[in-house]
Amino acid sequence: MGESIWIRERSSPYSPLLILITISSLLACCGANFHRDVDVTWGHDHANISDDGRLLTLTLDRLSGAGFQSKKAYLFGKFDVEMKLPPGNTAGIVTTFYLTTAEKHEEIDLEFLGNLTDDPYTLHTNVYTHEVGHREQEFSLWFDPRQDFHKYTILWNPLIIIVFVDDIPVRVFNNREAVGVPYPNTKPMKIKASIWNGEKWATRGGLVKTDWNEAPFTASYRNLEIQTKNRPQWPLTQGLDKAGKKLLRWVRQTHMIYNYCHDPKRHPRECRHFIDI
């Protein structure tokens, strides 16, 4: 059985038709194998694939970090991975999972910013369109991502991007091209992931540096799943049902710690056009 979510198809802006359909009827599902479906792109001796291709680890030390990318690029889809982040004092360490184009930078970005042992990780998200980012939203997670694996998802279709953590929506980015806000919908993207030293900015604006006595730092990835469209008629919108909207509001009220649209020093013009649900 596929996962059921609400799909909204619009014949006009004034006559929405809501239909409940099953994702499996629209998506070609691929449980990825790291041996078969990704390439280690840097830090080859700091990356390891095991468990018959189901587990990939990336390690950072003073010499190098590491990263991988999917062999294929995708135009729209649903991309899941389970991650376990490095334990202990990880201040300055950045662990990532994201989609990005090969040229004319467009990106849907999840970066996990490490912290001191007793302080929580920060999930830093961003959307780059037409080579411009600066659309940051940050969240404190409601669990310790160092203790166990948790699922992180990017859902991307022509009219909406949704980021999920353990199937709970944390960020929505709608297509607002009609009012002049760029949206990534023409260039295929590859899945990428990495671990690297971001001590100049990652923890408390760079005030807390990486403690190399804690190295090596190892991030683990498993159960990478890629679902892409397998028929020409991709739904016009794929959004959240009532329960999903309620969860999104809960995340914003209790776990959002930064939103570029609410930054008084920035006042991005595009934010006046955003209706996030």
List the catalytic residues.
107, 111
Distances (CA, A) of 194 to 90, 97, 112: 15, 7, 10
Q: Which two tokens stand for residue 173?
A: 């980015």
Q: Is 134:109 a contact under the CB 8 Å cutoff? A: no
Q: Is 193:81 a contact under the CB 8 Å cutoff? A: yes
Spatial distance between the Cα atoms of 218 and 186, rounded to a whole number of angstroms: 35
Spatial distance between the Cα atoms of 209 and 203, rounded to a whole number of angstroms: 7
Q: Is 66:57 a contact under the CB 8 Å cutoff? A: no
User: Which DSSP letter does residue 231 get?
Assistant: S
